[in-house]
């Protein structure tokens, strides 16, 4: 029988990053469920799964905020407070074109590749990538037990 981590796929760090990537969606899903709006069952279930998932992430974020505030700031500015914008992206070389561009293709020598829409994160210029990496390291060191990613998000870890 496969261990929980084998069933989960991806490394421990990759699973933590996947939880961080979707954290605000999960939290917003909880708020929507409590309010008048239509709730998102996927997000509500994501919070209720075993405590090694979002409940543990929420616990660790609270600890980080109080014991390592600088790391928390860089992490939160990256995953929770960054703005997003829509761009066109070449799937081959990852070149980014503005969404308003009238160009539908990106040239690679004699080959032409159709660009695809993508949403990119825009972080504050004060965010230091090394500090974000250190914050994820902190989460990985302090995490209690296995890192559980809800089934709905497993594709983002693979």
- CA dist 140 and 119 (Å) reads 27
- Beta pairing partners, 112: 107
- CA dist 16 and 18 (Å) reads 5
pLDDT value of position 110: 87
* More confident site: 117 or 81: 81
Split at pLDDT 50, 70, 90, the class of 106 is: confident
Q: pTM for this structure? A: 0.71
Structure tokens at 12: 């421990």
84: pLDDT strictly greater than 90: no
Nearest to 135 by CA among 69, 72, 77: 72
64: pLDDT strictly greater than 90: yes
155: pLDDT strictly greater than 60: yes
Split at pLDDT 50, 70, 90, the class of 5 is: very low
């Amino acid at each position: 029988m496969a261990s929980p981590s084998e069933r989960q796929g991806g490394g421990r760090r990759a699973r933590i990053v996947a939880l961080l990537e979707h954290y605000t969606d999960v939290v917003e899903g909880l708020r929507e469920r409590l309010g008048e709006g239509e709730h998102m069952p996927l997000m509500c279930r994501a919070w209720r799964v075993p405590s090694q998932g979002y409940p543990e992430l929420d616990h660790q974020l609270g600890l980080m905020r109080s014991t390592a505030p600088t790391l928390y700031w860089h992490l939160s500015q990256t995953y929770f407070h960054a703005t997003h914008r829509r761009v066109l992206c070449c799937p081959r070389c990852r070149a980014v074109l503005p969404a308003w561009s009238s160009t539908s293709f990106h040239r690679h020598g004699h080959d032409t590749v159709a660009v695809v829409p993508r949403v990119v994160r825009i972080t504050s210029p004060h965010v230091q990538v090394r500090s974000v990496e250190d914050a994820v390291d902190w989460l990985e060191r302090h995490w209690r037990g296995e890192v559980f990613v809800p089934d709905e998000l497993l594709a983002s870890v693979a």
